[in-house]
Amino acid sequence: MSAYKHIFPQIFKRIPNSKSLPAKHLIKLRESKQYRHEKKAVVIQGLKTIKELRDQGLSIHSVIVTAKKEPREEDEIKLPAKQIIQYPDSLPAKTYYLTDVDLTRRILGTASRPGAHEIYAEIGIMQHDFTPSDRLLVFDKINDPGNLGTLVRTAKGLGWTSGIITSGTCDLYNDKTIRASRGLSLTWPHETLSFEHLPSYLEEHDITPIVADMLPRDSQQVWSPDYGTLNVQDVKPGSGIWFWNFKEKKIEIPKKIALILSCEHHGVDKALNDEIRVSVPLESTVESLNVASAGSIVLTELNRLLRQQACAISPN
């Protein structure tokens, strides 16, 4: 028996093992996309992220504190676990649980690397209205949740406030996506569409798709607002982003754009063959960048060029 039972208020219930109902529920939320969407909830790791989501109005269903079953010394319960045990009202929830570190690892997964005093929570998925903006980000068949989470975090940080997820892209509420986005994937407004419906959706909203792709290898013309039109062979790394494949379209950056980012492995869908391309020039010894790195560069450069374009139109 623990000599320090008083450090565990009655509001906290111990989850004994992974076969108990609360543990099964939390594990299934992490492992099953269908279950997450059915329950409209996810498991979030880390006190800082949980507090940020609480402050944005997301509901906390349950709070789970990692703590030894029978601590021999009072100081064996350390922060942040100790803080929540002492002040559970700081994270208002329907239920409060305790787990030992082994069960925490089973619930959160070994990739999460939880600490011995970890805090995690079941949090409701926010329902938000989606209105396409003038700068729309489209994720097509991105199947790495780490890349997806990094891109959502970057997009939100750079002011790309909404996006479209094609049905071939991994779940925004996957635990790895949430971790990489620092919880931002939960509050990023988006619409899920099949790829087949994407062209008509963009056309309906008068949005021009621009597809991120590698520079063409053949000798053709590419364009930059900074440097004008050049042969692709004359483009140097570090010269910003370059546009090509305009076909019969006017050579300019459209006012309303949808930047389409695709998985490097799958490449760009053939249905987008006639759409404008945008590329980041690289040294010849580097074949490509992963989608998170390339996408972050393109987002930053598009922001700069669109701001530059707006200033040229309205100098005052």
Which string of DSSP letters, residue by residue, matches 212-245? E-PPPSSS-EEEETTTEEEEGGG--TTS--EEE-
User: Domain 135-313, what fold?
Assistant: Alpha/beta knot (3.40.1280)
For residue 131, what pLDDT is reported?
Answer: 81
What phi, psi does 303 have (nearest 5°)? -55, -45
Q: How far is CA 129 from CA 48, 183, 190, 191, 301, in A?
A: 26, 19, 8, 9, 28
Beta strands at 208-212 and 276-279: parallel, antiparallel or unpaired: parallel
Q: Please list, in sequence order, all residues whose beta carbon lies within 8 angstroms of the beta carbon of residue 217, skipping any fewer than 6 positions away.
A: 232
Class of domain 5-124: alpha beta
Task: Determine the Cα–Cα distance for residues 207 and 14; give it in Å rounded to an integer.
Answer: 53
pLDDT at site 23: 98
CA dihedral defined by 88, 91, 92, 97, rounded to 10 degrees?
-60
Name which of 189, 196, 147, 199 is nearest 170 in CA terms.
147
Rg (C-alpha) for the chain, rounded Å, is 24
Give the Cα separation of 258 and 241 in Å (integer). Answer: 16
- Report the chain's terminal Cα–Cα distance, integer Å: 74
Kindly report the pTM of this predicted structure. 0.89
DSSP string for residues in the chain: --TTGGGS-TTEEE--STTSHHHHHHHHHHH-HHHHHHHTEEEEE-HHHHHHHHHTT--EEEEEEE--SS-SSGGGS-TTHHHHHH-GGGS--SEEEEE-HHHHHHHH-GGG---TT-EEEEEEPPP------SEEEEEES---HHHHHHHHHHHHHTT---EEEETTSPPTTSHHHHHHHTTGGGTS-EEEE-GGGHHHHHHHTT-EEEEE-PPPSSS-EEEETTTEEEEGGG--TTS--EEE--TTS-SS--SSEEEEEE-TTT---GGGTTSEEEE----TT-----HHHHHHHHHHHHHHHHHHHHHHH---
**Could you tell me if 49 and 183 are in contact, meaning their C-beta atoms sit under 8 angstroms apart?**
yes
pLDDT tens by residue, the chain, 316 residues: 444 455 688 999 999 999 999 999 999 999 999 999 999 999 999 999 999 999 999 999 999 999 998 887 778 888 999 999 999 999 999 999 999 999 999 999 988 999 999 999 999 998 887 888 889 999 999 999 999 999 999 999 999 999 999 988 999 999 999 999 999 999 999 999 998 999 999 999 999 999 999 998 887 899 999 999 999 999 999 999 999 999 989 999 999 999 999 986 666 777 888 999 999 999 989 988 999 999 999 999 999 999 988 777 766 5
Which pairing describes strands 228-231 and 95-99: parallel, antiparallel, or unpaired? unpaired
What residue segments make up the domains of the chain, in order of their start? 5-124, 135-313
Q: Note whether 12 and 148 are within 8 A (CB).
A: no
